[in-house]
Structure formats: structure tokens, C-alpha cells
Amino acid sequence: MLLSLKIENYALIRSSKISFYDGFTSITGETGAGKSIMLGALALVLGGRADTQVLLDKEKKCVVEAEFSIGKEMKKLFDDNDLDFEQRSIFRREITPSGKSRAFINDTPVQLSVMKSFADYLVDIHSQSSTINLKNHDFQLQIVDSLSENQDILVSFRNLFSQYKQLEKTIADLQQRQSELVKEKSYNEFLFEELESANLLEDEQEEKEKLLELASNAETIKENIVQSLQSFDNEQDNNILGLLNETNYRLGKIASHNKTLAELYNRVESASIELKDIYNELSSFNDGLDFDENQMNELSDRLNLIYNLQKKHGVKTIAQLLEIKIDLQEKLLQSDNIDSQIEEKIAQKQQMIKQLDGLATQLHKQRLQSAETLSKEIKPLLASMAMKEAVLQIEITSEDDFNANGKDKVQFLFNANKTKENHLQELSHVISGGELSRLMLAIKAVVSRKYNVQTLVFDEIDTGISGDIASKAADIMKLISKNHQVIVITHLVQMAAKSDKQYKVYKQVVDNQTESNIKELDMQQRVEELAKMLSGNTITKEALANAKTLLNI
């Protein structure tokens, strides 16, 4: 349960610390005094949204700190988030003037999402808007589910439903892709067959370009080679090989007389061998320079084919063309395989629908039981608040399509008065503000029995209630407080009188600035506060006497 709430520099509160107790606590004060500020601060420390507008002093940070007494059933949640479990745990939220928000649990920094995950186990806050939400079908479903022991089934359904929606998206994407591939298939087949029939080899372009260059200049090359060969070996005595042989012969006769001459002889011998080899290679190269017109045309046609393919596909190499060919082949395979993929996914979807139907059926059965229980148990509570003839019927129908909560649609049908036809209508069409508050309070009394959370906070759930009905509403709140810590922000004197502890929110001016504060009232102060709530600012003897009567003193 909530043990204390410390607030610094939040809204109109400069600094305040409130201790709370088990049982039934009321918070009263004049309209506009700031009763809901405490509620806002508590929501902040449980992970609520924050901005710098909450800072009273824009130059200082806001700090809200709540201390809770926590049961061992929450230890796993601490362990799952790598936090030290302490039965008295402190949750702290800080908002800096720059707008930066920080959250701490037992002085360990945590993500805001972690702090929010603890909130459902610590405090249930019923704001004024929650009563209005009772007219909303989704909120009505939440009420029914809160009575059902179906949370594990609901979690399983939602996880499977999320997978189902993802599978539907996958199927839609595949079908879209299938449509695109069908449109592209004929053209891709043409492109692939064109590249396939070309029989491209990765290195052939460079080879054929060199060969065509050679063939195109064959006549000039041949002429110069022939002249070069004649220089090596002609009928005249001054050819290169003849002169080199003569030199070699002369040096051979004298090489034995001197080491240098011997070396020179060897070098000339080597040069002679090298030149003969050059001569032979030139002769062989010359013999291979015979190109006919057909060869030239074949080379030119082949290269033109390669160039045209490269231009069509916007690439510069055969390697890139071969990559495109592989990509086209994969697209054609996809086109062939996508039908089977879609069939497989649709089969998975059908299997998933069966599973979802099974879980939805379980949820439906449990909701029907909970709806019957809720309708039955709130009847005497409504009767105690002067709604003896009121009837709440909860209609649960299964729709064709799944949603995140199953297949069910929930409607609260209501009639506050006895009629011949006992005609029930949708809640939002027939209920008044005061009746709505009483119905919400009765629902809370029933549903709270299933709550794991220890602390229930109500913000003016008694709006539109007065007189003896207010006293009966306070009795119901007292009943809830037997199993939960109950904190009620109220304007009803009957509600405040039946609370175990009472706090007063008030305004004061400090250094020309209005501030809100809160204090616990002792018995005498409670008498005076109740008397003021009864008679206004001028407290009469009758009001004081009535206040004491209400407090049983």
C-alpha cells in the first residue's frame, strides 16, 4: 500500500510530505484548492506523462517520491527488471527545468516503461473521466475482463492475434509482389533468354577487342614484321644474324687469351641465341596474321552484340551482365515459387484462425459468467443507494472478425426505473450523471474483490450524489476499504465523515505567490472541516452538532 507521498516544486505545491494509512482516507478542500494535484503527482511517480509546465519554480527541478509497502508476490517483477526487492520501496520521479525526466526505484535509475509496469500492481487510479468512460464499450469490456480469471488466456490471444495480423500483412505483401511479378514476367523472360542465348564469357570482351584491333591493322603490322625479318636474315652480307655470327666467330678465336674477351664472347653468344629466338617468334606471329573477311565480321558482330546488351542494361562489363542474368533468373524463380508461398501462408493463417477461435470461445464463456455475476452482485448495492428497481444487463455478442480482445462486443443495457415492459436501453442513452456515479461505485465495489492492487484512489466518484444516497455510497467505500487501502478525493461531507483519516487541501499566499498544501486533520479539525462543508465559511452551532453526529462523537 501507499505509505507516503513527498512532493516538491509540483504545480502549486512547493514542498509537502503526506503519510497515508490502511483503511479509508478522504481528501477534502474547497473547489480549486488543488485536491487533484496530489492525484497528478501520484500519477507522475507511476510513470505518467510530464512536462516543465508542472514546475512551480521554473528554475528548480520537480521531485515526486512515493513509498510503498510491497508484498512478496511482486518480487519476481523486481527480479525480472534486475532490481533489488525491498518490502518498503521508494519510487521517485524528477523533472528538470530543461524538461528532462528521470525515474528511480530504490535509488536505481530505470526506464519510464519499467516504472509503468509496476503501476498496475501498486495503485488503481479512478479519475473523473473514468466514470464518463463507463459509457464506452471498450471500457465496459475491460470491466467484464477484470472480473474474469482470463488474463492468461487474453495474453495468449493477444500474442497470437499479433502474429495473425503480421501473417495477414505478409500474405498481402506476397500477393502484391505476385501481381508485380506477373506483370514483369514476360519481359523478364525475354531479357533472360536474350542473355542466355548470348552465351557470354566473363573475359571474352577484352580478348575479342584485342583480336579485332590486331585484325584491323594486320596489313600494316605484317609489312613492318616482314621488313624486320629481312633485317635479321637477307641475302646480303650485312644482315643482323650474319654479322652477329661473324662477330661470334672472331671472338671465339681469341676468347681463350683473356678473361674479358671470354666474357664478351659469351655475351655475344647469348645475344645471338636471343635474336634467333626473336626472329623465330616474329616469323611465327607473321604466319598467324592471316585474317579473312568472315573472321573480321564475326569479331565485329560479337562485340556489337556485347556492346548493345551493355547499353540496354546500363552496365560496362560482361561480369555485370552475368549478374543481371542471375537476378532475372531469381525473379523468374520467385514468380514460379510465390504461388506456393502464398498457399503455405494461407494454410498457416487457417490454422491460426482455428487457434484464435478456440481462445476467443474460452474468453466468451468466461465473460458470460462474469457478466452474470456483475449484474447480480451490483443489484443490492444499487438498491442501497436508492436504485431499487435498477437493472443492468450485460450483453455480449460474438462478431465475425477478430480484434485485440477476441471476438466479443460488450454493451451495458440499463434501466433505472421499473416499467411495464422493463425496457432496457444502451447505458449512454438512459442514465443520468448521479445514476452513472452510483453505478460506477457499485461496479468498483464488485470488481475490487478481484484486484491484486492494494491501493485504490477515487477522484470525486461521488459526483451527482447527495443526502442519504451519499451516506450509502460512503458505506460502500467503507466496504471496499476492508480489503484495500482506499483514498477518496471528495466534496461530500458524508463520505469524509465515514473515512478513517481525513486530509484537507488548502491554499495560502507565500511571498506573493499562491501555493497549495495538504495536512492531516485531528478530530477537532475534522469537526470544524465537516461543519464548514455543511454550512459554508460561517460555521453555525447546528453545523458543528451535525458534524459531531456524523463522526459519532
Beta strand 101-105 with 88-95 is antiparallel
The verdict on 186 and 329 lying in the same domain is: yes
Inter-CA distances, 265 with 248, 273, 277, 278, Å: 6, 12, 19, 20
Query: pLDDT at position 168, please?
Result: 95
Burial pattern 178-198, b for ≥16 Cβ within 10 A else e, equals beebeeeeeebeebbebbeeb
The verdict on 495 and 541 lying in the same domain is: no
Residues 6+ apart with CB under 8 A from 164: 349, 352, 353, 356, 402
Answer yes or no: are the C-beta atoms of 38 and 505 closer than 8 Å: yes
pLDDT band at 481 (very low <50, low <70, confident <90, very high): very high
Question: Could you give the strand order of the β-sheet that contains 455-459, starting from the edge strand earlier in sequence?
Answer: 123-126, 455-459, 485-489, 24-28, 501-510, 513-520
The pLDDT of residue 94 is above 70: yes
Angle at 74 between CA 70 and CA 80, to 5 degrees: 135
Answer yes or no: are the C-beta atoms of 412 and 392 closer than 8 Å: yes
The verdict on 532 and 517 lying in the same domain is: no
The verdict on 200 and 326 lying in the same domain is: yes
The verdict on 50 and 121 lying in the same domain is: yes
Average pLDDT over residues 325-348: 85
Answer yes or no: are the C-beta atoms of 46 and 114 closer than 8 Å: no
The verdict on 219 and 293 lying in the same domain is: yes
C-alpha span between 449 and 169 (Å, rounded): 41
Average pLDDT over residues 403-413: 93
407 DSSP assignment: E
Beta strand 455-459 with 485-489 is parallel
C-alpha span between 490 and 500 (Å, rounded): 14
Answer yes or no: are the C-beta atoms of 392 and 430 closer than 8 Å: no
The verdict on 3 and 109 lying in the same domain is: yes
* Predicted TM-score (pTM) of this structure: 0.68
Query: pLDDT at position 421, please?
Result: 59
105 DSSP assignment: E
425 falls within a domain:
no
Cell reading at 513:
505567490
pLDDT band at 235 (very low <50, low <70, confident <90, very high): low
User: What single string gives the DSSP state of each residue in 181-236?
Assistant: HHHHHHHHHHHHHHHHHHT--TTHHHHHHHHHHHHHTHHHHHHHHHHHHHHHS-SS
68 falls within a domain:
yes
3-state secondary structure of 93: strand
The pLDDT of residue 238 is above 80: no
Of 336, 364, 383, which closes a domain? 336
Q: Which residues are 486's β-sheet partners?
A: 24, 456
The verdict on 183 and 330 lying in the same domain is: yes
Pick from 454, 451, 492: nearest CA to 475:
492
pLDDT band at 236 (very low <50, low <70, confident <90, very high): low
263 falls within a domain:
yes
Query: pLDDT at position 497, please?
Result: 93
Q: Which residues are 124's β-sheet partners?
A: 456
Average pLDDT over residues 424-447: 87
Average pLDDT over residues 482-486: 92
The verdict on 184 and 332 lying in the same domain is: yes
Q: Is 94 exposed, middle or buried (0-12, 13-18, 19+ CB in 10 A)?
A: middle
Least confident of 153-157, 322-326, 455-459, 538-542: 538-542
C-alpha span between 553 and 542 (Å, rounded): 15
Domain count, the chain: 3
CATH number at residue 4: 3.40.50.300
The verdict on 195 and 278 lying in the same domain is: yes
Check residues 112 and 243 and name the one with the higher pLDDT: 112
Inter-CA distances, 61 with 4, 97, 409, Å: 20, 6, 46
Check residues 7 and 180 and name the one with the higher pLDDT: 7
Q: Give the tens place of pLDDT for each residue, 281-326.
A: 888 887 777 666 777 788 888 888 999 999 999 999 999 999 999 9
The verdict on 184 and 206 lying in the same domain is: yes
Cell reading at 284:
611465327
Q: How many residues appear in the chain?
A: 553
Q: Which residues are 90's β-sheet partners?
A: 67
Pick from 142, 28, 134, 145: nearest CA to 525:
28
Most confident of 49-58, 254-263, 481-490: 481-490
User: What percentage of the chain has pLDDT greater than the value 90?
Assistant: 39
Inter-CA distances, 495 with 34, 335, 525, Å: 19, 72, 16
548 falls within a domain:
yes
Of 336, 367, 388, which closes a domain? 336
Q: Give the tens place of pLDDT for each residue, 348-407.
A: 999 999 999 999 999 999 999 999 999 999 999 999 998 888 889 999 999 999 999 999
32 falls within a domain:
yes
Residue carrying C-alpha cell 652480307: 237
C-alpha span between 91 and 3 (Å, rounded): 11
The verdict on 490 and 531 lying in the same domain is: no
C-alpha span between 451 and 70 (Å, rounded): 15
CA 107 from chain centre, in angstroms, equals: 27
The pLDDT of residue 493 is above 70: yes
440 falls within a domain:
no
Cell reading at 316:
560496362
Inter-CA distances, 353 with 69, 302, 403, 405, Å: 44, 59, 12, 14
Average pLDDT along the chain: 87
Q: Is 322 exposed, middle or buried (0-12, 13-18, 19+ CB in 10 A)?
A: middle
The pLDDT of residue 422 is above 70: no
The pLDDT of residue 420 is above 60: no
Most confident of 31-40, 214-223, 500-509: 500-509
Of 304, 336, 368, which closes a domain? 336
Q: Give the tens place of pLDDT for each residue, 135-177.
A: 888 989 999 998 887 888 999 999 999 999 999 999 999 988 8
Which helix (H) or strand (E) is 524 found in, with range?
helix 523-535
Q: Give the tens place of pLDDT for each residue, 109-133.
A: 999 999 998 888 899 888 777 778 8
User: What percentage of the chain has pLDDT greater than the value 70?
Assistant: 97
C-alpha span between 437 and 439 (Å, rounded): 5
441 falls within a domain:
no
Check residues 56 and 293 and name the one with the higher pLDDT: 56
C-alpha span between 151 and 157 (Å, rounded): 10
Enclosing domain of residue 538: 523-553
Query: pLDDT at position 419, please?
Result: 64
Residue carrying C-alpha cell 487541501: 505
C-alpha span between 229 and 286 (Å, rounded): 10
